[in-house]
Structure 1
Amino acid sequence: MTVSPTAVPDTRSAPRPSSPAPRKTRPPAGIARRRARTGWLYTAPALTVIALVTLFPVVYSVVLSFSDVRFTFGGVRVEEWTLGNYTTMLASPVWLEALAFTVGYTLVTVAVEIALGIAAAVLLDRLEAGRGWILALLLIPWSLITVVSAQLWDFLYDATFGAVTWLFGLVLDQPPVILGTPVPAITGMAVADIWKTTPFVAVIILAGLVRIPQERYEAAEMDGAGAWATFWNVVLPALRPVVSVAVLFRVLQAFGIFDLPFVLTQGGPGTATQSLAVLGYKTLFQNLDIGMGAAIATSTGVLVIAGCLLFLRMFRSQVDEGGAA
């Protein structure tokens, strides 16, 4: 008589009871406060340096904008506190002209850069080979320091041996003095700025293009949409948050433009290319009018903050629309 061994059930394939996920517990209030104090302690040196380098000059400039500052043999002395700097500035035709130039220059250059950046990004997105090399070449203008690129364009616009002047001479009997005439000077400066910053816009928009799901293109193709219909109804709506970010960065940079007109034209001819930043520099360091220069700088900062808040509000609404879609 044989006795069969007791059968042992195979439990390897049986489902094991799932253990509950560990609950995240918050540290006690005392430990959280100690961690917060430790964090503030470690970041205090960096925050102090930032405050001294950034916040203190800004606050001091605002204070000087409300004062009548005089130079004496012992240094600088505040004569009185007054609103005269702002009343004089707002009534000055030079300041109004600089404001009009800055606003108009910002609107035109940013609009052209966004249009060209979208076109360049769409082309780069369609490339299957060599995208990295082309993108690296496009970023060369953006990587150049603005003073260096401005000096390069100054050579190209030179009235005697400039390459751009020579090209105009091939089609015109009398080529224009580009940097010596108001309209050509503004146009030439805008071209230099667009050449430098369009690759930056293209990279931002390309980052938004690669995140568009392929299913949207396939759905548009199944609906019979052509290339233009797909671009207007699929691509552009998806790019609105990214375009808002690019516009925000470029408006802030273009509104405070200083180095490009300072190198190319010094704000001339006359005051044709004089931005608010250039006007503030001349008032403060050439005319030595500290109170008025601080008022111009403060007004420029207020306008920049207002524009930043406006575009941030637009950007938030675009993100909400994109999320809802």
Structure 2
Amino acid sequence: MQKTSSRLLSLLSLLQTQRDWSGKDLADRLGIATRTVRRDIDRLRELGYPITTVKGPDGGYRLEAGAHMPPMLFDDGQAVALAVALQTAATGTTVAEDAARALATLRQVMPPRLRHRIDLLRVTAVPPPAAPDAPRVDRRILVELSRVIHGREELRFDYTPAPSTSRGDVRRVHPHHLVTWRDRWYLVAWDLDREDWRTFRAERIRPRSPTGPRFSPRELPGGDVTAFVTGRFRGNDGTTAYWPCQGEVVLHLPAAEVAPFAEDGVVVELGPRRCRLTLGSWSWTGLAAAIGRFDTEIEVLGPPRLATAFTDLAARYTRAAGTTGTGPTP
């Protein structure tokens, strides 16, 4: 039989799987009697773990959330996964400082063998390039937005649409989701005054108190927040993540040279110096310009509106070339 301390740790590890355990199942897993399980449960309760008794034919136990943080147990795999996650979060995120402190605390209490593994596993997360004007969001704002989303409470807040705007306006919304997109935080909400879905930059939100009444949430268009946000930023109604304008061309370049710069496009090799590219954009002219940056011969496969966009763009570029030297002298 395991020593009492080792047995308690094994019991706690089972209870942390977020499921109900009958006394018999715990006894069978640990190789002990059910009365020993009852005694060990009482010992864990004395240490501050809120373990409740589950009613039912066989009875059982459940580890609940408590009023304070008791000692926590992680197996080797969980500890490594947590350390990797914290190292990633400690790079260029809103909670970077807290994540770094949590990682230092976790490392301090690790056994030497596990600490050595963590020290060897140094992760440097490289976030996407942030826009020059991408500010950090006060974590208190994120916590408050998360609270009203969870509580389904109407939110009133002062909102400044752009940094150059001296005065914002007061918005009333039903908040639904808090999301990140390219190093920025956004609130997805139903705007009560405009009667439409909106996305708001979190750093420009200043919540007002008190919050409004509770509400019954609406169904998000398309039913998927990822597709909705991606679609909105791509210029469609948010019911799909696809670009509103999508075309197909043949480029006179090897597929290996196109793929690294195709972003979310699809590249198919057609030969040593030819490939097919399927790409999307927010407008046909924008799509033609994006394809033109590959600086090679282009064959338009479709649709016809893409070919028209190339024609319009060629005429615009021709006019621009004719203006060389005609501008005002500095």
Short-chain TM bin = under 0.3
- TM-score with structure 1 length normalisation? 0.20
The structure with higher relative contact order (CA 8 Å, sep 6+) is 1
Structure 1 or 2: larger strand share?
A: 2
Structure 1 or 2: larger helix share?
A: 1
- TM-score with structure 2 length normalisation? 0.19
